[in-house]
Amino acid sequence: MTISVADVEHVARLARLELSDEEKNLFAGQMGAILGYVEKLKELNTEGILPTSHAVPMENAFREDAVSPSIGIEKALANAPDRVESFYRVPKVIE
Amino acid sequence: MELFDLSIRELHSKLKSKEVSSVEATGAMLARIESVEPQIGSFITVTPGQAMADAEAADKRIASGEMDLLTGIPLALKDIFLTEGIRTTCGSRILSNFVPPYSATAYEKLKEQGVVLLGKLNQDEFAMGSSNESSAFGMVRNPWDTTRIPGGSSGGSASAVAARQATATLGTDTGGSIRQPASHCGCVGLKPTYGRVSRYGVIAYASSLDQVGPLTRDVTDCAIMLGALAGHDPKDSTSVNTPVPDYAAALTGDVKGLRIGLPKEYFIEGLDPDVQTAMSQAIETYRRMGAEFVDISLPHTDYAVATYYLIATAEASSNLARYDGVRFGHRAEEAANLLDMYVKSRSQGFGVEVKRRIMIGTYALSSGYYDAYYVKAQKVRTLIMRDFIRAFEGVDVILTPVAPTPAFKIGEKVNDPLQMYLSDIFTIPVNLAGTCALSVPAGFSADGLPIGLQLIGKPFGEETILRAAHAFEQATEWHTRKAVI
């Protein structure tokens, strides 16, 4: 399977990644090989087979709607790269 | 026998009889870490202050007579488990400054028993790898041969047990990341059934596959650790609310009449001859103990790696979207705007293997390809699960190799990701099926490298595989050999 540098650039945009030219060429080849390998799944007839999203069948996991302690603002913001008062600060969103 | 050589069970009895204190055992372990760490590289962070404080608290608890099996035992955790106040990196540059505000339930449960935390163990970045070569904090070397990889992604968790830098460790297993390094380093490693152990506070890779488990010196220790970890957690909606059996009580040594399945798809050409020999000898050992063998088929085995690398990468691309430089982790400086900040933070923070998997996963989920790749893989996953359900109608346990070869050389597969992925061919189907499996030492290659035997159980059948592995351990001496380091 062939993956072009343009394909790589498109996927990188979706994934919010910026790749060097070297990485783009590397990934084009490697993604082509890996996606070529997974083509083998097409050998199998899966008509009427339901997809599995979780291995253990589960009902909805409900809990009591009760108030319990949370970690609080200071702890929640302790790892913030940039903060103002009780907020995360980020670069300007709207020009 | 040095204090760092002891198993959990052995150290527990010495602590209980007051023959040694936890402070002494912990001090011996910290000295051991310091002396062998330059050759191995098991740890990302060693926590001597925390360890000695934990040991002192444990000694007080022992003196008061309120002792659990793990009280005062020096352990270490893969750096994927959140530890409040202690840096947790997941092997990634993007989390190189992350200090969690809370701890994983698995660690909380160990703390309730009064364990000693020695530190945080090296791993492949975000648990993506089979060789521990993708860590942003340097490679780990196999204690049996330091020119070879320890396996991955829980490479540090296995090397620390093998090099006796911790009495036992915790790892995680998404496609073999506990069992494969356990096999390569000659320790016992268990991947419990999906839902058996809480994943709250464990950094997510592929959420429908990830599971927490122990790496230990022997099967008895493995049973002790699983007993401490297992159980329902209201904070993890995927943890299952079924009773936790007494795993240690299951170790009866009796496998008479146990029906063991041998899947023909796992005993293939291309299997390393030393691995083949170890498997044949193991089968002979079980036969002598009265187990019965049944030839079985898991017909979709050959499709498991392809299925895994679509499902795992798709889930990873979604899970790792949270690393955007806003709330925690690395933030790029000099971003022109918010989008630029996301892109630069992620591109600077992630290593090449993580980027590669995010790219494949994003591709598989992208418009026009979703049904052809992601949904198709989920359907094949159903077929793989059915293989196991059918096989377990006629057998109690399935026996296979853990890996097709012993530990490979550092650098050998690093430029060929597909070959690296194929080294997980025997462990991946278990994660897709969601069931439990373990690796137990079963021999050595001509070069002196450990070879592990995989025992696969029914969902929530941990007692049966632990019993079978323990009986094997009683009949063999592989687990008693120690890496010379």
Q: Is A5 within 8 Å of chain B by CB?
A: no
| B208 in catalytic set | no
Between CA B286 and CA B469 the distance in angstroms is: 10
State ipTM.
0.96
Contacts of B379 in chain A (CB under 8 A): 46, 49-52
Question: Which residue does chain A place closest to B303, by CA atoms?
Answer: A41
Contacts of B174 in chain A (CB under 8 A): none
Which candidate in A5, A7, A17, A37 is best for mutational testing of the B interface (most B CBs within 10 A)? Answer: A17
State the residue for tokens 């059948």: B461
Contacts of B331 in chain A (CB under 8 A): 81-82
Nearest to B362 among A14, A30, A95 (CB): A14
| pLDDT value at A57 more than 80 | no
Burial class (CB in 10 A: 0-12, 13-18, 19+), B154: buried
Which candidate in A4, A8, A11, A94 is best for mutational testing of the B interface (most B CBs within 10 A)? Answer: A11
A30 Cβ partners below 8 Å, 6+ apart?
B356, B417, B418
Residue ranges with strand state E in chain A = 83-84, 87-88
Nearest to B343 among A16, A35, A52 (CB): A16
Contact check, Cβ <8 Å, A37/B418: yes
Burial class (CB in 10 A: 0-12, 13-18, 19+), B226: buried
Fold of A5-43: Histone, subunit A (1.10.20)
Contacts of B304 in chain A (CB under 8 A): none
Question: Which residue does chain A place closest to B336, by CA atoms?
Answer: A91
Alpha helices in B123-265 (DSSP H): 155-162, 179-185, 219-229
| B16 in catalytic set | no
All structural domains of chain B: 3-257+395-480 (3.90.1300.10)
- Please, how many CA atoms are within 13 Å of residue B176, restricted to the half-sphere of its CB? 32
CB B176 within 8 A of CB B424: yes
Nearest to B382 among A52, A79, A88 (CB): A52
Nearest to B434 among A30, A49, A56 (CB): A56
Question: In the prediction, which pLDDT does B299 show?
Answer: 97
Contacts of B330 in chain A (CB under 8 A): 81
User: B3-36 pLDDT, tens per residue?
Assistant: 999 999 999 999 999 999 999 999 999 999 999 9
User: B427-445 pLDDT, tens per residue?
Assistant: 999 999 999 999 999 999 9
User: B344-357 pLDDT, tens per residue?
Assistant: 999 999 999 999 99
Which candidate in B98, B379, B383 is best for mutational testing of the A interface (most A CBs within 10 A)? Answer: B379
Question: In the prediction, which pLDDT does A92 show?
Answer: 85
Between CA B363 and CA B317 the distance in angstroms is: 9
| B109 in catalytic set | no
Peptide bond into B153 cis (omega under 30): yes
Nearest to A55 among B324, B376, B433 (CB): B433
User: B341-387 pLDDT, tens per residue?
Assistant: 999 999 999 999 999 999 999 999 998 999 999 999 999 999 999 99
Question: In the prediction, which pLDDT does B201 show?
Answer: 98
Question: Which residue does chain A place closest to B321, by CA atoms?
Answer: A15
Q: Is A25 within 8 Å of chain B by CB?
A: no
Mean of the pLDDT values across residues B295-300? 98
Q: Which of B7, B22, B42, B78 is catalytic?
A: B78
Q: Is A1 within 8 Å of chain B by CB?
A: no
**Residues in a beta bridge with B110:** none
Computed from CA positions of residues B194, B196, B200, B201, in that sequence, does the dihedral angle turn out positive or negative? negative
B138's tokens: 């340097």
At B223, the pLDDT band (50, 70, 90 cuts) reads very high
User: B239-272 pLDDT, tens per residue?
Assistant: 999 999 999 999 999 999 999 999 999 998 789 9
Question: In the prediction, which pLDDT does A31 show?
Answer: 95
Q: Which of B153, B159, B198, B317 is catalytic?
A: B153
Contact check, Cβ <8 Å, B300/A44: yes
Question: In the prediction, which pLDDT does B370 show?
Answer: 93
Which strands sit side by side in the sheet containing B74-78, from one edge to the other?
A: B43-46, B116-121, B74-78, B168-173, B211-216, B188-191, B437-444, B450-456, B397-401, B259-263, B292-296
**3-state secondary structure at position B106:** helix
Contacts of A80 in chain B (CB under 8 A): 327-328
CA distance A22 to chain B (A): 11
| pLDDT value at A58 more than 80 | no
Rounded to 10 deg, the angle between the A21-38 and A5-14 helix axes is 90
Interface list for A 37-76 with B (CB within 8 A): 37-38, 40-44, 46, 49-56, 58, 61, 63, 71, 75-76
Contact check, Cβ <8 Å, B418/A80: no
The DSSP line for B324-355 is: SSSSSS---SS-SSHHHHHHHHHHHHS-HHHH
